[in-house]
Amino acid sequence: MQDFTDALYTAAALIVHLDPEVREIVTLSLGVSFTASICAFVIGAPFGAALAMYRFWGQGAWIVIANALLGLPPVVVGLVVYLLLSRSGPLGSLGILFTPTAMVIAQTALGIPIVVALVHRMTVDNWATYGNALLVDGASRLRAMIPIMLIGREALLTAFLAAFGRAIAEVGAIIIVGGNIWGYTRTMTTAIALETSKGELSFALALGIVLIILSLAVSALSLIFGRALTAR
Amino acid sequence: MSDYNREIGFIQRWPQFLRASAIATFVTATALLCGQAGAQEKSIVVASTTSTQDSGLYDYLLPIVKEKTGIGVKVLAQGTGQALDTARRCDADVVFVHAKSAEEKFLAEGYGIRRYPVMYNDFVLIGPKDNPAGVKGKDILTALQMIKAKAAPFISRGDRSGTNIAELALWKNAGIDIGNAKGPWYKEIGQGMGAALNTASASNSYVLSDRGTWLAFQNRGDLAILVEGDKHLFNQYGVMLVNPAKCPSVKKDLGQQFIDWLTSPEGQKIIADYKINGRQLFYPNANDPNA
């Protein structure tokens, strides 16, 4: 139990003193995961909605793929992004391996299937209810996409949060493409991995507690945001 | 139908919502870009080992490098084998590792131009204090033979790191073909030095570690140093610039400047000054031509 009480005290001290190193790590974690989940959302949401609204060849396959990729292993995504961005890989000339941008790319790839699958699920139901009415109003399916998403805005928020949760919690992809560089690509999760390997178990756990508190805060904020959206 | 009207009512107001979202996105993007801009200073990527990181050397050294040379050093702590591979893919500017044989191979392949010795410390055999295989105080080769004979639990890094390469060479020197001799007692965990020590600590196993990581390690449990001070346990660190002829993206001036500082009297003294609880972790030897 010693470890857990130590960790709680350390976590409290980290939060109270706003330790500059921890603050930097937290800022990077939030920035990278937030950007990645926005990117995943912007790419994934229209695709998920289209999968429900249009009829096209290979549609079933796309739905199966998106759902299967919910279990995409971060370490595999990390490896693929690493090989693409490596100087000897196809996108090497960009020189973005071991940067926060590389981490955003990897986490975006992890978030897209989540957004696609959840938005598709939501749109299937709403399209059944409102689809005909929206088309009767004279809109094309493309034009109808915005209202159908707005109708499902709470589910969209859930999809965004799920992508964010996946991003902020994962370590396998970003430790490969980011390199866990001190002051540059070190995030909460990679710092926890590092402190564990130094044998600083209670400090690692303290960082874990800070991460959980952050997730709670993000979730609470979006609940408030969601309430504001639905208030009329 | 009221539900439908309610939704339509909201949709009519959606431009406001869109504008608010656009502003939020813009602010976030700007903040991130500014954060990125701050990082665009002069910096190099150094592919290095987990032992130098887990021992806390870089936490101590890099702020000093930054202050003295103005170079921001981005360290990838990967283990010697992976670090050299990262450099072979041109993804690092400098390699700072500890396996002379692997480094010489890297040079021979043309990925490096010159290897500079930097410092040394030594490996130590760690094991449970009650020492079930009875190896305490023996020389390392005898100790390994006894561990093998008793099939005492042993944790191997199994990751082609400098320590792993040294461990495999020691088994060979002890006359044991570990590839064939290994059994359930010999566990290759494929992870860094700290992780190997955590595993050994949790399972009361023997493990070969560099002294620096061991001294910095905070989760020792019932482990202690059982074998040390044997000449076979010497552990030399070297640094190399990645060959710009093979990898045009290499920042050769900054990389060389970092190497020059590390091997300068000033850099060497600062390495020697790194201590944990009064114990020196690394011994500079840039002037030893045979190192």
pLDDT tens, residue by residue, A171-217: 999 999 999 998 899 999 999 999 998 888 888 999 999 999 998 99
CB contact under 8 A, B219 and A199: yes
pLDDT of amino acid B34: 47
Q: Domain map of chain A by residue range? A: 2-226
B234-242 vs B275-276, strand pairing mode: unpaired
CA–CA separation, B170 vs B227, rounded Å? 13
Per the CB < 8 A criterion, the answer to whether B198 and A196 are in contact is yes
pLDDT of amino acid B15: 61
Top-level CATH class of A2-226? mainly alpha
Tokens of B205: 């196993």
pLDDT exceeds 60 at position A68: yes
Q: How many residues does chain A have?
A: 232
Q: Which residues touch A24 (CB under 8 Å, ≥6 apart)?
A: A183
Asked if A72 reaches chain B (Cβ–Cβ under 8 Å), the answer is no
pLDDT tens, residue by residue, A150-161: 899 888 999 999
pLDDT exceeds 50 at position B1: no
pLDDT of amino acid A7: 86
Q: Residue A89 has what DSSP assignment? A: S
pLDDT tens, residue by residue, B194-241: 999 999 999 999 999 999 999 999 899 999 999 999 999 999 999 999
Strand partners, A23: none
Tokens of B276: 């944990």
What's the gap in Å between the CA of A70 and the closest CA on chain B? 26
pLDDT tens, residue by residue, B135-160: 999 999 999 999 999 999 999 999 99
Which pLDDT band holds residue B9 (cuts at 50, 70, 90)?
low
Query: Average pLDDT for residues B107-115, to the nearest whole number?
Result: 96
The chain-wide mean pLDDT, for chain A, equals 91
Chain B positions in Cβ-Cβ contact with residue A36 (cut-off 8 Å)? none
Chain B positions in Cβ-Cβ contact with residue A98 (cut-off 8 Å)? 45, 74, 76, 91
Longest Cα pair distance anywhere in chain A, in angstroms? Answer: 67
Distance of CA B244 to the CA centre of its chain: 23
pLDDT exceeds 80 at position A74: yes
Query: Average pLDDT for residues A87-96, to the nearest whole number?
Result: 93
CB contact under 8 A, A201 and B7: no
Query: Average pLDDT for residues B112-127, to the nearest whole number?
Result: 96
pTM score, whole prediction: 0.85
**Of A87, A197, A199, which has the smallest distance from its Cβ to B90's Cβ?**
A87
Per the CB < 8 A criterion, the answer to whether B92 and B240 are in contact is no
Query: Average pLDDT for residues B23-47, to the nearest whole number?
Result: 67
pLDDT exceeds 70 at position B165: yes
| CA distances in angstroms from A205 to A20, A48, A188, listed in the order given | 18, 37, 11
Q: Which of B146, B162, B234, B157 is nearest to B193 (CA)?
A: B157
Q: Which of A4, A1, A59 is nearest to A204 (CA)?
A: A4
More confident: B7 or B116: B116
Q: Among A55-64, A98-107, B62-71, B266-275, which is the least confidently predicted range?
A: A55-64
As a three-state string, the secondary structure of A194-225 is: HHHHCCCHHHHHHHHHHHHHHHHHHHHHHHHH
pLDDT exceeds 70 at position B22: no
Q: Among A4-18, A84-98, B143-157, B161-175, which is the least confidently predicted range?
A: A4-18
pLDDT tens, residue by residue, B70-108: 999 999 999 899 999 999 999 999 999 999 999 999 999
Which pLDDT band holds residue A76 (cuts at 50, 70, 90)?
very high
B112-128 vs B275-276, strand pairing mode: unpaired
Longest Cα pair distance anywhere in chain B, in angstroms? Answer: 87
Chain B positions in Cβ-Cβ contact with residue A102 (cut-off 8 Å)? none
| CA distances in angstroms from B117 to B100, B103, B259, B284, B290, listed in the order given | 9, 11, 10, 9, 8
As a three-state string, the secondary structure of A55-105 is: CCCCHHHHHHHHHHHHHCCHHHHHHHHHHHHCCCCCCHHHCCCCCHHHHHH
CA–CA separation, B119 vs B262, rounded Å? 10
pLDDT of amino acid A85: 96
CA–CA separation, A217 vs A196, rounded Å? 25
Helix/strand/coil for B23: helix
pLDDT of amino acid B2: 54
CA–CA separation, B97 vs B47, rounded Å? 8
What's the gap in Å between the CA of A179 and the closest CA on chain B? 5
Helix/strand/coil for A33: helix
Per the CB < 8 A criterion, the answer to whether B171 and B156 are in contact is no
What's the gap in Å between the CA of B216 and the closest CA on chain A? 7
Chain A positions in Cβ-Cβ contact with residue B218 (cut-off 8 Å)? 198-201
Which pLDDT band holds residue B38 (cuts at 50, 70, 90)?
very low
Query: Average pLDDT for residues B46-55, to the nearest whole number?
Result: 92
For residue A165, give the amino acid letter: G
Per the CB < 8 A criterion, the answer to whether B147 and B204 are in contact is no
Per the CB < 8 A criterion, the answer to whether B193 and B157 are in contact is yes
CB contact under 8 A, A182 and B58: yes
